[in-house]
Amino acid sequence: DTGVSQDPRHKITKRGQNVTFRCDPISEHNRLYWYRQTLGQGPEFLTYFQNEAQLEKSRLLSDRFSAERPKGSFSTLEIQRTEQGDSAMYLCASSLSDWETQYFGPGTRLLVL
Amino acid sequence: AQKVTQAQTEISVVEKEDVTLDCVYETRDTTYYLFWYKQPPSGELVFLIRRNSFDEQNEISGRYSWNFQKSTSSFNFTITASQVVDSAVYFCALSEEDTNAGKSTFGDGTTLTVKP
């Protein structure tokens, strides 16, 4: 069984550009989460999906951020008009259902110049 | 609101020493889950343990052990006979059943350095 995968692993972009990240959860995991981690801090919750339904979004998720999970399998996180403050590690996690352990992918490290 | 505090920012030990990483949490829910994750230099968070609020039994897994005490809202993690490969950032996390529907709140982590 493969774990959670994320693509790309690293992304460097210029301020104002749009970026999109992809997450492939563990198969049959219904829950998919996105977190953001900055240097010296723990992951912060951004949003999560139950199958294809996006159930909650954090206040951290401004209007420039959008996430989808179109068929309840993989998910994408798009950031429009990137800002330097968006530079962080973006982590994806999946779990079988409520309250089950979340398993994390390797993350996508974003640097906005 | 849920909160996790890991007061120790950095710990440095010499190989074979025992080390305890502290975790204190705040929650209003009666049903919740606590986790420890390891984040090595490669960056991927590795799951170590999950406990629910009704199970206060301490757990041992090899050189790892966990002490869960509801009375002090603590869930501490001890590594016995530490090894260089234990060097990593360790995160404690909390999920509430009623209030926050399973999403986790993480502490800021403790960076453990084990020197040979």
pLDDT band at B102 (very low <50, low <70, confident <90, very high): low
Task: Mark A9-41 as b/e (b = at least 16 C-beta within 10 Å).
Answer: eebebeeeeebebebbbbeebbbbbbbbbeeee
Note the pLDDT tens digit of each residue in B12-54.
999 999 999 999 999 988 889 999 999 998 888 999 999 989 9
Whether the predicted pLDDT of B100 surpasses 60: no
A89 in reach of chain B (CB within 8 A): yes
How far does chain A reach from its first CA to its final CA, in angstroms? 37
Quote the DSSP letter at residue B70. Answer: G
Task: Kindly report the nearest CA distance between residue A32 and chain B, in angstroms.
Answer: 10
- Select the residue of A42, A99, A103 nearest B91 (Cβ to Cβ): A42
Which chain B residues touch A106 with a CB distance below 8 Å? 42-44
| CA A85 – CA B26 distance, rounded (Å) | 29
Residue A88's nearest CA partner among A70, A57, A72, A65 is A65
Q: What is the pLDDT of residue B88?
A: 97
CB contact under 8 A, A42 and B95: no
CB contact under 8 A, A91 and B45: yes
Indicate the residue type of B26: E
| CA A77 – CA A65 distance, rounded (Å) | 7
